[in-house]
Structures are given as structure tokens and as C-alpha cells.
Amino acid sequence: MSRVLGIFRFRRKSTPLHALDPRAKFALLVALSAASLALSDAVSLSALLIVEAALLAVARSLREWARSLTGLSSLLILIFVLNFLTLPADRLFVAAAMALRFLCLTTAFSIFFLTTTADELAAALEASGVPREYSMMFTMSLRFVPSLARDLQTVADALKSRGLELEKGGLRERLRNYTYLLVPLIVYELRRSIMVAEALEARGFGAVGKVEPYVALSLRARDLAVIIVSALAACAVIWVVASGAYGTFLDQVRACFPRL
């Protein structure tokens, strides 16, 4: 579990991508996601993945991404197999495309979260007009995701050490045993949220309506460039897909795949 969550955890590094304004990185995320959803063949999606890998390389975060692939692999295989089994025709072609699409989407999000801190994100949200309470709520959730993962592990450890069998046994039995984790986890997180709320109150959160944020976000030339390029690229992809040209391309690719 922590392996998978690892791709969404910020790592402090000094790279051009980390240094971009969060809004620029967000534009990049939107463009990459739009492309992932618009494209539907394994060849274009592989090309997209290569572009994303290049971005990860710029962010010097390839290793974190690669490490989490092992955790994601089970999901990827699941998607591939489900598609393969349930489609009437072109199974291999579509299944491969779906699995790749999933990978492209998660990688796009991973690029964003690996290079953006929770409060950069909050600053971006606030600069875009989101009220402080909501942006705080968002960043708090992100900030506590690793804590939640750790608490889940601790609760599982505590119950296992009281004899609860979570490692062996039939699927149904194990699922039922896992439900025992819910109550202590929920109670613990509720308690934690009260403590966090107390601390926020104690530091005057909500004292005034409009707050002048400590971090002043300003879009520099390179941020604007990234935003414009992302927007243009996304539009280009969507335009190509919507046009007839993509249809013919799809047929050609499909023909290359064994008829399954």
C-alpha cells in the first residue's frame, strides 16, 4: 500500500519541474490527463508515456515512479485481464490500450504530486479564488494520507498480535477479519482530526476573512510558457482525435495486432 502511495508523495528536489508555479504544473496535469483520455490506442499512449517518462527524468523522479510500478502492476494486470475477457473483439488491442491509459493517468498525477507540496497546492487554489477553509481542507487531507497509511498498518499489527488472522484463511474469512480494523481506525482518525482542529484554532485559523498568503505566487515567463504549451498540445491532441485522421490511424494500428 505504501509502495503505491509513494508516487503521490512530494520529494524535495531542485529541478526545473519542481520550481514551476503550481498552476503551471496543474495545467500540465490537465493536458496530460486529457490526452490520456482522448487517445485510445496502445501506440499513441505509449508515446504519451514516453513523454511523461521524459518529464519524470527532468524532475529526477524516475526511481520513485519505477519503485511504485511494482505496486501498481497488480492493478494494471487486472485492468488488462478484465478488458481482455469481457470484450467481443479486438481484445488484445483494447486491453493493452486501457492498461496503458490507466498508467498514463496515474503517471500524470504522480508527476504533479511528486513535484508539488501540499501547501503550494493550497496557495495555487487560493490564488485561483478558492476560500481558505476549502484549500486548507484539501491540503490537510493530502498531508495526512501518509499518516493514515501508517495508522492502518499499526491497527493491523495490533489486531494481528491479538491473534486476528489476516494472513491465512479463505477470502471471505479474511475480508471479514479486515473489517475489524475499521472501528479503531475511524475512531483514531476522528480523534486525530479533533486534535488538528484544536491546533488550528489555537493558531488563530479563521480569525480574519481575507488573508495575505505568505507565499506569493507569481507566474514567470517559463510558467506561462508551460501553460500555453500544455493548452496547445492538449487542443492539438483533441483536435486530431476528433478529426477523421485518427480513425484511420486506429484502424492501421488495430490491423497490426493479432486478431483476438
Binding site for another protein (CB under 8 A): 2, 6, 10, 12, 117-120, 139-140, 143, 147, 151, 154-155, 157-168, 180, 182-184, 187-188, 191-192, 195-208, 210-216
Instruction: Give the CA dihedral 130, 133, 138, 139, nearest 10 degrees.
Output: 110
| Closer residue to another protein (CB): 206 or 247 | 206
| Closer residue to another protein (CB): 151 or 257 | 151
- The nearest distance, CB 140 to another protein, in angstroms, is 7
Q: How far apart are CA 222 and CA 228, in angstroms?
A: 10
| Closer residue to another protein (CB): 88 or 203 | 203
- The nearest distance, CB 85 to another protein, in angstroms, is 33
- The nearest distance, CB 22 to another protein, in angstroms, is 12
First-last CA distance in the chain: 34
Q: What DSSP assignment string belongs to 160-203?
A: HTTT---SSS-HHHHHHHHHTTHHHHHHHHHHHHHHHHHHHHHT
- The nearest distance, CB 122 to another protein, in angstroms, is 9
- The nearest distance, CB 49 to another protein, in angstroms, is 25
| Closer residue to another protein (CB): 162 or 172 | 162
Compute CA 142 distance to the chain's CA centroid, rounded to the nearest angstrom: 11
Helix (H) or strand (E) holding 109: helix 91-115
| Closer residue to another protein (CB): 1 or 221 | 1
Q: What DSSP assignment string belongs to 129-171?
A: T--HHHHHHHHHHHHHHHHHHHHHHHHHHHHHTTT---SSS-H
